[in-house]
Amino acid sequence: MLRKISIKNPILRLRGKISKVSQKLYTLSFSPFVIGLFSLLWFLFRTGTKPSRAVYPCQRIAAANSYLWLSIYIFPIFRTINQKVRGKIDWKKLLPVILAMVIVGGSIAIWNLYEVVRRREMRELGLKIVGRTTKFEPASDIFVVNGTRGYDDGIFALINLMAEHGVLFYKSSDYGGNKGPNGLIDRNDVVIIKVNSQWDERGGTNTDLVKALIQAILNHPDGFIGEIVVADNGQAQYGSAGSGGSFNWSRNNAENISQSIQNVVDSFAAMGYKVSTYLWDTITTKRVREYFEGDMEDGYVVNTTVNPRTGIMVSYPKFKTVFGTYISFKYGIWDNEAKTYHSDKLKVINFPVLKSHSIYGVTACVKHYMGVGSDKLTAALGARMHNTVGTGGMGTLMVETRFPVLNIIDAIWVNAIPGNGPRTSYGVATRVNVIAASTDPVALDYWAAKYILLEVARFKGYSGLSSMDPDNVETGSFGYWLRLSMDEIRRAGYQSTVNEDYMNVYVVHI
């Protein structure tokens, strides 16, 4: 008789052995001995020549693990081994064995320890933010809410804080609370909320905050009868999908990551409110003329005269909303019957997410206006808009189109890795739970870069911080072009500063 011969695949056997070894190493990496050993190594390596780092939360955890390891495994050995036994140890032979154990176990254990510490202590960072007031005039006011998570009352706390210091959110003939004749938003205004939509995950404006801001506008004490448009131009290029912006990302910057901008807007529209979106990517390559020139088409108006100071060719959108409202970003609301514009009825709230930028250092309020003009049309005409950020072009764009009535920085999650943005994945973002607002976009950018981005970057031990430093004025740096933008804004008569002696910072903690 022939015996059946069992043939086992050698590759499968090898896989099985590798799997078993991997499982053992994985289990070993979480043993108290290994965690304690590499906590000690991590503490020594991370602290280095900078003892001040020893107070960092991650270092305190490592120090506690190290002390426990030494107490359990090392100190007892030295207490029990007498001088005679110690003399018989061949340290030359033992040292390579110990070193090999360190290398084999450490390659897994130290990475796991780093991940645990990073996720537990460094993904959510509470910043200590201190307010200040100045005696110098004219001053720019900065309003900060610390401790908000986006889906709470942070936006309403911000509006209340502004009112306490004379900046009223609601325009009304009556005085009281957050309203008055000098308020920002009237009951019948058309409000454009300019968000960042070019990137998914943490690269776009927090949708919980957008939802809260829309609700705040609708809560106008006189009864809001106007219209809200959430808009942006991702330039139909680059971005997370390589095709520009989207209001329908599947992975968003929110507590519930499935909550997109469009989801938020649709929820209000379903209740009968005049709230809509307009993705200017869809018209960014279409050049049109103004309404007063008889052109009723949606598209971009371009001034082909290049600004002599900043080199920008100013462009802006004009479009019709789903509710039939004709909007020129520069001139205001078009009345087609009277053939005239109502400029004072169009308000812009500039709402960027705070993050680093690979070319220009920082994306905040000023850089955010790249999502207003058309990069493609200006590039085709020989003066690409994006190239003028570094020469102050966004300041020119702001004052020659429509200056925002309010700038709000979303710093719930930030990307503080120098040169890493504007793309910001969930993995690289740090949660700091801050929002800040000002009518001065330059002062707000200066303050946010210095007291949020740089502080987070220092805490996490990043290098190359000069690219985000607003006090660095080397040619081409963030501080350099921020000042050029400031010059353009000042030239047009708006309050703008990078001098902290002319800034008031008001802070509320929730």
* pLDDT on residue 121: 41
Residue 399, pLDDT above cutoff 70: yes
* pLDDT on residue 323: 98
Task: Calculate mean pLDDT across residues 187-191.
Answer: 98
Residue 31, pLDDT above cutoff 90: no
Residue 350, pLDDT above cutoff 50: yes
| Of 63-67, 103-107, 276-280, 498-502, the least confident | 103-107
Q: Which residues contact 496 (CB under 8 A, 6 or more apart)?
A: 140, 440, 441, 442, 443, 486, 489, 490
Residue 2, pLDDT above cutoff 60: no
- In one-letter notation, the amino acid at residue 293 is E
* pLDDT grade for 7, boundaries at 50, 70 and 90: very low
Looking at every residue in the chain, the average pLDDT score rounds to 88
Strands (E), 244-358: 275-279, 299-302, 315-320, 326-328, 332-335, 340-342, 346-350, 353-357
The answer to whether 232 touches 192, Cβ cutoff 8 Å, is no
> Each residue of 180-214: b (16+ CB within 10 Å) or e?
beebbbbbebbbbbbbbbbbbbbbbbbbbbbbbbb
* pLDDT on residue 103: 64
Residue 380, pLDDT above cutoff 50: yes
Residue 166, pLDDT above cutoff 70: yes
Task: Calculate mean pLDDT across residues 137-166.
Answer: 97
- Give the C-alpha distances (Å, rounded to integers) separating 312 from 373, 375, 495: 10, 10, 22
Burial class (CB in 10 A: 0-12, 13-18, 19+), 442: buried
| Look-up of token digits 């050049």 | 287
* pLDDT on residue 116: 47
Residue 388, pLDDT above cutoff 60: yes
Distance, in Å, from the CA atom of 156 to the CA atom of 505, rounded to the nearest integer, reads 18
Nearest one of 437, 441, 330 to 394, comparing CA atoms = 441
Residue 232, pLDDT above cutoff 90: yes
Please report which helix (H) or strand (E) contains residue 239, including its range: none
Task: Calculate mean pLDDT across residues 376-383.
Answer: 98
Which residues are 347's β-sheet partners? 191
3-state secondary structure of 68: helix
Residue 38, pLDDT above cutoff 90: no
Please report which helix (H) or strand (E) contains residue 21, including its range: helix 10-29
Q: Which residues contact 492 (CB under 8 A, 6 or more apart)?
A: 399, 400, 403
The answer to whether 261 touches 214, Cβ cutoff 8 Å, is no
pLDDT tens by residue, 77-131: 655 655 555 556 666 666 676 666 656 555 555 555 544 444 444 456 889 899 9
Please report which helix (H) or strand (E) contains residue 106, including its range: helix 91-117
* pLDDT on residue 125: 80
Stated length of the chain: 510
* pLDDT on residue 6: 42
* pLDDT on residue 73: 67
* pLDDT grade for 300, boundaries at 50, 70 and 90: very high
* pLDDT on residue 105: 56
Higher model confidence: residue 121 or residue 377? 377
pLDDT tens by residue, 457-505: 999 999 999 999 999 999 999 999 999 999 999 999 999 999 999 999 9
Task: Calculate mean pLDDT across residues 27-44.
Answer: 65
Task: Tell me the three-class secondary structure of 392-443, residue by residue.
Answer: CHHHHHHHHCCCCCEEEEEEEEEECCCCCCCCCCCCCCEEEEEEEEECCHHH
Q: How many CA atoms lie within 13 A of 420 on its CB side?
A: 22
**Both structure tokens of 127:** 């910043």
* pLDDT on residue 80: 61
* pLDDT grade for 8, boundaries at 50, 70 and 90: very low
pLDDT tens by residue, 306-319: 999 999 999 999 99
Residue 51, pLDDT above cutoff 60: no
Strands (E), 237-339: 275-279, 299-302, 315-320, 326-328, 332-335
The answer to whether 414 touches 426, Cβ cutoff 8 Å, is no
| Look-up of token digits 């030295």 | 78
The answer to whether 314 touches 396, Cβ cutoff 8 Å, is yes
* pLDDT grade for 194, boundaries at 50, 70 and 90: very high
Residue 207, pLDDT above cutoff 70: yes
Domain range summary for the chain, segments of one domain joined by +? 10-122, 140-509
The answer to whether 36 touches 105, Cβ cutoff 8 Å, is no
